[in-house]
Amino acid sequence: MKIFGFSIGDDRLPGELAGAGDAARDRGDWPDAARHYRAALSRDASRADIWVQLGHALKESGDLTAAAAAYESALLRAPDVADTHLQLGHLFKISGRRDAAATAYARAVELDPTLRDAIEELRSLLRKGAKPDASVSAGLVESLRYTRRHRPAPSVAEPADDDRATAIFDVSDLLGYFHNARLPTGIQRVQIEVISALLREPPVEVQIAVCAFSIDRSDWVSLPADLFLDAARLALMEGGQRDPDWQALLKDIALTVDLSPALIFPQGAWLINLGTSWWLQNYFLKVREAQRRHGIHYLPFVHDMIPVMAPEHCTRPLTEDFISWVQGAFAHTRDFLTNSEASRRDLITVADRLGYVVREDQVQIVRLDADFRRPGDTPPIAPAMDRYGLEAGNFVLMVSTIESRKNHLAAFRAWRDLITRHGAEAVPTLVCVGNRGWLNDGVFARLESDPTLQRQVRMLSGVPDSDLAGLYQAAAFSLYPSQYEGWGLPVTESLSYGKVVLASDSASLPEAGGDFAVYFRQGDQAGLLDALERLIFDLPYRQALEARIAAGFSPRPWRALATDILSRITTGQTPPAAPELAIPVATPGRYYPLHRSRSIAVGPGLATGEIFRAGSGWAAPEDWGCWTRDGDGLIEARVATAASRPMRLFIGLRGETQRATPWRLEITGRQLASGALGADQVQWVSRTISPEMIRDGILRLRLIGSDQASASSDTRLDRNSVGVIGFMVCDAADTETRSAFVEALATDDLDALTVGKPTL
């Protein structure tokens, strides 16, 4: 008699039978391996490791159902083995059960946060819309908070659940920056220091929290305070982007953002963005939704208006995205933070160009005169000098990102003139510290073309805080010839270390340096050279300036800057955002494109259709227009029309890229039009809207594409459906406007009809 192909008299032990199964596995004979594993389990069914091997053999044999049962039998006997959950995840993945696979991978990572395969598989599924079991997701997020290796979590007071105002700091751009760089530059430094100060010493009158906007999920999620503080601490330490601790932290952050539930804002909370968000194309769509649902206040910190005021120093994509953000910022808030009088003037100027009215009292100035020194920390100078081959007192320090606006070329010209006049031996080395930015080809070309200049200029990047402190202390003085700034943090930083700084008189720099910096007129190369010569060769003059800094310059702790920011919340009178204020006006006869911004200048003729999108059914705008998400896109607009007069709607639609797309248009629940689009087909639809369809002056237009409701929730992916190119409404009897639209469409000149702006 035989069982599982073996004689009853076979007296081999389970381990021996499992060994025979392993041998069959190694030669690729999966059916034979499965027979041996089954025989071993018939003698000892408690062996979880053999159940796992049986699962492997059955999976490779193509029996996925039996394989899943084997893995689950292993988990019944040893539920805390991360690799078993990983293998079960692989099985569910190839079976098409994406949510179940994500749950298994999440459990594996919860048990072993270092299991890279599970992490990568989980992130891949999450980006595709898979949804792991909520309880497992919550457990994983908690486990990540307490298993980060070698980095004890700081003690952080969690926000209390009470009636105090809530300030939620959005650090989306900071996390995006961390995935490409580690050491922070100016804007990142402000975020790190201000938010860290508030988390370590929470204010009494305001609850503090941190959040991030997930591009993949198009929503905000909470970021644990201790996780943010870990990132802030490690970012300022020595170590490169590939440092294992840094990479482990980035994975923890990514999984937390992917797995945490969507943030539900407390009613009336303040969403404060101290950084940049213009690269997040769906950002303001979600701001509008949060304003309508939760009455939040959006409070941006406008560091500068460089892409508008000095676009020659920016790449075109940056300028386009910034202008789109500027329009959104003015449309979604009455309150602003900025860093200087110069920046406030620029902000009001740009608002005026766009046709918005922003008063001075709506823009609070938070001076960035912070103390960059670490309390009680006086790093030795010698290690930095040895590391970079420098001589204390014999170099001038220029700290800035290497880009055209920072004016390295003017510094190089001045150094070449100094060498010509005084000889290389008499001229100190120019040490330029900063990462590469954009539009800097001329900087490096100038160095490469001049061997003499090369010997007198040092370019350093990736310099940690400890070394930078040593460089400041050892420098003769610092140089900052920037052509445009919102504030100029390196000016304040130099003064914090007691060092004279020579700066241009451009924009905000006189505010940053006050009476303690030395200035030259922007664009005056001779004036720059004269000022350099005096600082280099007149030692008593320089010492007198240093004495003045020591006696009178008093930088503020970062906690004081944080208090300034919060004062806008504790003393401001802005009422909760009313739902109707979030619905913009669509001017009759004006065309509103839904594509990504292509504007490189601001003016009253600038209009956008992005602001009319409502709800969660939209993907991010693209160059041609905007896809709906899962076939349900809502457009809301206020239209000025007589109650008895019909309107005419023109709307451009685009079919899905891969397949035909049925669609229908509804207004206030009533069908207006329907049809079908071929793959990637463009169609312009024109329909008359009767007065009763526009309730209380609000046009609510819903575009419904392919119906995916019948798809399995375990296998469906959120995906794009029928797209919208743009739209226009006008009086149905206005034949002149209707003809102008048709003509513009025929000549591919719809931009001619984008005049003015939507207003709140």
Report the percentage of the chain scoring pLDDT > 70: 90
Q: What integer pLDDT is reported at residue 381 of this predicted model? A: 84
Q: What integer pLDDT is reported at residue 396 of this predicted model? A: 98
Q: What integer pLDDT is reported at residue 158 of this predicted model? A: 44
* Range from 4-8, 206-210, 362-366 carrying the lowest mean pLDDT: 4-8
Q: Average of pLDDT values for 513-536?
A: 97
Residue 526 pLDDT level (bands cut at 50, 70, 90): very high
* Alpha helix stretches (DSSP H) within 515-646: 525-537, 539-552, 558-571
- Which residues lie closer than 8 Å to 654 by C-beta, 6 or more apart? 624, 625, 677, 680, 681, 682, 683, 722, 723, 724, 725
Q: What integer pLDDT is reported at residue 706 of this predicted model? A: 67
Evaluate if residue 2 carries a pLDDT over 60: no
User: Is 613 in a helix, a strand, or coil?
Assistant: strand
Q: What integer pLDDT is reported at residue 7 of this predicted model? A: 45
Q: In one letter, which amino acid is 119? A: I
Q: What integer pLDDT is reported at residue 507 of this predicted model? A: 93
Mind listing the pLDDT tens digit for each residue in 428-468? 999 999 988 777 788 888 989 999 999 999 999 888 888 89
Evaluate if residue 3 carries a pLDDT over 50: no
Residue that wins the pLDDT comparison between 753 and 197: 197
Q: What integer pLDDT is reported at residue 715 of this predicted model? A: 36
* Range from 397-401, 553-557, 644-648, 698-702 carrying the lowest mean pLDDT: 644-648
Evaluate if residue 57 carries a pLDDT over 90: yes
Residue 241 pLDDT level (bands cut at 50, 70, 90): confident
Q: What integer pLDDT is reported at residue 641 of this predicted model? A: 65
Residue that wins the pLDDT comparison between 123 and 184: 184
Rg (the chain; Cα; Å): 31
Evaluate if residue 412 carries a pLDDT over 90: yes
Mind listing the pLDDT tens digit for each residue in 82-140? 999 999 999 999 988 988 998 998 888 888 877 888 888 887 887 777 878 877 766 66
Residue that wins the pLDDT comparison between 527 and 581: 527
Mind listing the pLDDT tens digit for each residue in 303-312? 999 999 999 8
* Range from 417-421, 510-514, 657-661 carrying the lowest mean pLDDT: 657-661
Maximum separation of any 2 CA atoms in the chain, in Å? 106
Mind listing the pLDDT tens digit for each residue in 258-311? 877 788 899 999 999 999 888 888 899 999 999 988 999 999 999 999 999 999
Q: Average of pLDDT values for 592-611?
A: 83
Evaluate if residue 579 carries a pLDDT over 60: no
Q: Which residues pair with 699 in a beta bridge?
A: 637
Q: What integer pLDDT is reported at residue 514 of this predicted model? A: 96
232-251: string of b/e by CB count within 10 Å (b at 16+)?
bebbbeeeeeeeeebebbbb
* Range from 519-523, 547-551, 687-691 carrying the lowest mean pLDDT: 687-691
CA–CA dist 248, 117 (Å, integer) = 13
Task: Show the tokens assigned to 433.
Answer: 């510290």
Average pLDDT of the chain, as a whole number: 87
Q: What integer pLDDT is reported at residue 144 of this predicted model? A: 57
Q: What integer pLDDT is reported at residue 759 of this predicted model? A: 39
Residue 188 backbone class (left: φ over 0; alpha: ψ -120 to 50; beta: rest)? alpha
Residue 648 pLDDT level (bands cut at 50, 70, 90): very high
Asked if residues 660 and 677 have their Cβ atoms less than 8 Å apart, the reply is: yes
Evaluate if residue 148 carries a pLDDT over 80: no
Mind listing the pLDDT tens digit for each residue in 662-684? 999 999 888 999 999 999 999 99
Q: Average of pLDDT values for 185-190?
A: 90
Q: Where are the beta strands (DSSP E) in 419-575?
A: 429-433, 457-460, 477-480, 501-504, 518-520
CA-closest candidate to residue 647, choices 571, 727, 572:
727
Q: What integer pLDDT is reported at residue 582 of this predicted model? A: 62
Q: Average of pLDDT values for 13-24?
A: 88
First-to-last alpha carbon distance for the chain, in angstroms, is 85
CA–CA dist 66, 88 (Å, integer) = 12
CA–CA dist 726, 611 (Å, integer) = 12
* Range from 180-189, 288-297, 376-385 carrying the lowest mean pLDDT: 376-385
Mind listing the pLDDT tens digit for each residue in 382-402? 888 988 999 999 999 999 999
* Range from 14-28, 586-600, 714-728 carrying the lowest mean pLDDT: 714-728
Q: How far is CA 232 from CA 170, 226, 258, 565, in A?
A: 14, 10, 20, 19
* Range from 31-35, 251-255, 651-655 carrying the lowest mean pLDDT: 251-255
Nearest 5°: the CA angle 415, 449, 529 is: 15
Asked if residues 431 and 398 have their Cβ atoms less than 8 Å apart, the reply is: yes
Residue that wins the pLDDT comparison between 514 and 658: 514
Q: What integer pLDDT is reported at residue 719 of this predicted model? A: 63
* Range from 340-344, 516-520, 605-609 carrying the lowest mean pLDDT: 605-609
Q: What is the DSSP string of 617-642?
A: -B----SS-EEEETTEEEEEEE----
Return the axis-axis angle of helices 116-127 and 98-111, rounded to nearest 10°.
140
* Range from 509-518, 539-548, 689-698, 699-708 carrying the lowest mean pLDDT: 699-708
Asked if residues 467 and 385 have their Cβ atoms less than 8 Å apart, the reply is: no
* Range from 22-31, 120-129, 530-539, 672-681 carrying the lowest mean pLDDT: 120-129
Task: Show the tokens assigned to 689.
Answer: 């809207």
Q: Are strands 477-480 and 501-504 parallel, antiparallel or unpaired?
A: parallel
Evaluate if residue 512 carries a pLDDT over 50: yes
Evaluate if residue 150 carries a pLDDT over 80: no
Q: Are strands 518-520 and 501-504 parallel, antiparallel or unpaired?
A: parallel
Q: What integer pLDDT is reported at residue 242 of this predicted model? A: 85
Evaluate if residue 727 carries a pLDDT over 90: yes
Q: What integer pLDDT is reported at residue 142 of this predicted model? A: 61
Report the percentage of the chain scoring pLDDT > 90: 58
Q: How far is CA 311 from CA 95, 481, 482, in A?
A: 52, 18, 15
Evaluate if residue 710 carries a pLDDT over 50: no
